[in-house]
């Protein structure tokens, strides 16, 4: 009886395993088929985009939305304002107004420019009079645009502008935004854009940048100019000592030695500074230098050397308070002070120049 029971259940169990195996295989095949179809479609889509690539204009809603900056502000439009006292008509355009020597027109679509992806949104554009280009396809005008919608409730203007300038030419005469504000938001009186029944107000700022008339060019040039100063009777110096005027990098300078030390280094170090002579720079000019200060070793050993990188502008003098210690100078074996002679040197490595136009 026991064996008969075992044989009876063996057939259903085997059948169950067969069904599970078929299901697993089918699912794997289905997954592979879906994946293959997805990859095929993706390749076809990418191939279509590559083969049919076209430049998208800045006013295209897919581009403009991602580049648009919006916000509420108190300031009114500074170029043109357009008040509408009816919403029976959904498309408006203003009379031409002049900016930068060109004629411009503001275009308003209360229910959106559906041809430019603006369905469900208020759309705003400006156009330029094509005759301003004198039929020259190569002439262009760049303009910054900022559009406004007045909010009576907030007593502010909703504004939208692009992060880039807009390029107008004989082929691209209209630019703007297809998706400025949802129509539902705009037409709901409680939001404040539509007031006194059906009144609303729009505006635009058109800024045509003019070419700059003044400019400057900053550059840095390398140099190997040196000035060497032999100071005799160094131990007898009691106050700051200045070298004769010398030229480095087209500018006039002095070396300043403070034998007793400057500031916190007084009584312990000799201080050394490079000083720019007067009338060597304009009142607003800054001169960058990289120089190396040295006290030459007269015993053919290593020189004492420090590098300075700084701007000469508000300050005319830069250097090192703790350039060389008294102990090193007093030690005759170190070779820095021989027969009471100290040899200081400054080498110019880099210096900046600024050219102003005009």
The CATH code of the domain that includes 223 is: 2.60.210.10
- pTM score: 0.62
Among residues 163, 178, 207, the one where a domain terminates is: 207
Among residues 180, 207, 234, the one where a domain terminates is: 207
Are 247 and 137 found together in one domain? no
> CB–CB of 265/259 below 8 Å?
no
312 is a domain residue: yes
31 is a domain residue: no
Query: In 3D, which of 253, 254, 257, 255 has the Cα closest to residue 237?
Result: 257
Which pLDDT score is estimated for 58?
40
Strand partners, 352: 220
Are 190 and 243 found together in one domain? no
50 is a domain residue: no
Among residues 207, 232, 259, the one where a domain terminates is: 207
174 is a domain residue: yes
Are 178 and 251 found together in one domain? no
Domain that holds residue 347: 216-357
| Mean pLDDT, range 70-85, rounded to an integer | 95
Which pLDDT score is estimated for 29?
43
Are 201 and 265 found together in one domain? no
Are 172 and 238 found together in one domain? no
Q: Looking at the 3D structure of the chain, how many domains does it have?
A: 2
Q: What secondary structure does DSSP assign to 135-192, as a single string?
A: T-TT--EEEEEEEEEEETTTTEEEEEEESS-EEE-SS--EEEEEEEEEHHHHH-GGGS
Cα 30 from Cα 23, distance rounded (Å): 10
| Mean pLDDT, range 158-184, rounded to an integer | 92
256-309 pLDDT, tens per residue? 999 999 999 999 999 999 999 989 998 889 999 999 999 999 998 999 999 999
Are 282 and 163 found together in one domain? no
Q: How many CB atoms lie within 10 A of CB 38?
A: 10
Q: Give SS3 for 43.
A: helix
Helix (H) or strand (E) holding 24: helix 2-51
275 is a domain residue: yes
306 is a domain residue: yes
| Mean pLDDT, range 345-357, rounded to an integer | 96
Q: How far is CA 178 from the centre of its chain?
A: 27
Are 186 and 220 found together in one domain? no
Cα 97 from Cα 102, distance rounded (Å): 8
Percent of the chain scored above 90 by pLDDT? 69
34 is a domain residue: no
Q: Give SS3 for 289.
A: strand
229-247 pLDDT, tens per residue? 999 999 999 899 999 999 9
Which pLDDT score is estimated for 344?
98
Q: Which residue has the higher pLDDT, 343 or 279?
A: 343
> CB–CB of 168/143 below 8 Å?
yes
Are 240 and 302 found together in one domain? yes
Q: Which residue has the higher pLDDT, 19 or 357?
A: 357
Chain length of the chain: 358
Which pLDDT score is estimated for 25?
40
Predicted confidence band of residue 316 (pLDDT cuts 50, 70, 90) = very high
Are 242 and 349 found together in one domain? yes
Are 131 and 187 found together in one domain? yes
Q: Which residue has the tokens 């559906």?
A: 114
Are 124 and 232 found together in one domain? no
Are 258 and 316 found together in one domain? yes
Cα 5 from Cα 11, distance rounded (Å): 11
Among 63-67, 181-185, 291-295, name the one with the lowest average pLDDT. 63-67
302 is a domain residue: yes
| Mean pLDDT, range 136-149, rounded to an integer | 84
């Amino acid at each position: 009886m026991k064996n008969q029971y075992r044989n009876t259940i063996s057939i259903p169990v085997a059948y169950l395993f067969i069904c599970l195996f078929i299901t697993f295989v089918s699912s794997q095949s289905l997954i592979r088929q879906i994946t293959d179809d997805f990859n095929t479609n993706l390749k076809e889509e990418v191939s279509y985009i590559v083969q049919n690539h076209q430049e998208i204009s800045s006013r295209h809603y897919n581009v403009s939305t991602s580049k648009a900056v919006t916000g509420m502000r108190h300031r009114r439009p500074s170029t043109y304002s357009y008040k509408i006292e009816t919403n029976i008509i959904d498309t408006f355009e203003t009379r031409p107004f002049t900016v930068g020597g060109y004629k411009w027109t503001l275009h308003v679509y209360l229910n959106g420019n559906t041809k430019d992806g603006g369905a469900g949104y208020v759309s705003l554009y400006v156009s330029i009079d094509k005759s301003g280009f004198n039929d020259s396809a190569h002439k262009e005008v760049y303009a910054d645009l900022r559009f406004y919608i007045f909010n009576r409730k907030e007593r502010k203007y909703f504004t939208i502008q692009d992060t880039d300038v807009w390029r107008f030419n004989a082929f691209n005469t209209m630019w703007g935004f297809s998706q400025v504000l949802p129509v539902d938001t705009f037409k709901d009186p409680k939001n404040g854009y539509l007031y006194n029944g059906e009144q609303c107000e729009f505006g635009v700022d058109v800024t045509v940048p003019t070419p700059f008339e003044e400019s400057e060019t900053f550059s840095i040039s390398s140099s190997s100019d040196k000035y060497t100063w032999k100071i005799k009777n160094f131990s007898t110096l009691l106050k700051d000592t200045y070298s004769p005027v010398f030229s480095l990098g087209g500018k006039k300078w002095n070396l300043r030695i403070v034998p007793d030390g400057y500031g916190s280094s007084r009584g312990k170090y000799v201080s050394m500074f490079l000083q720019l002579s007067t009338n060597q720079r304009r009142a607003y000019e800054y001169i960058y230098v990289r120089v190396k200060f040295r006290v030459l070793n007269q015993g053919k050993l290593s020189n004492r050397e420090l590098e300075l990188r700084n701007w000469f502008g508000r300050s005319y003098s830069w250097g090192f308070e703790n350039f060389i210690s008294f102990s090193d100078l007093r030690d005759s074996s170190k070779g820095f002070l021989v027969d009471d002679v100290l040899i200081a040197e400054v080498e110019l490595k880099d210096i900046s120049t600024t050219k102003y136009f005009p």
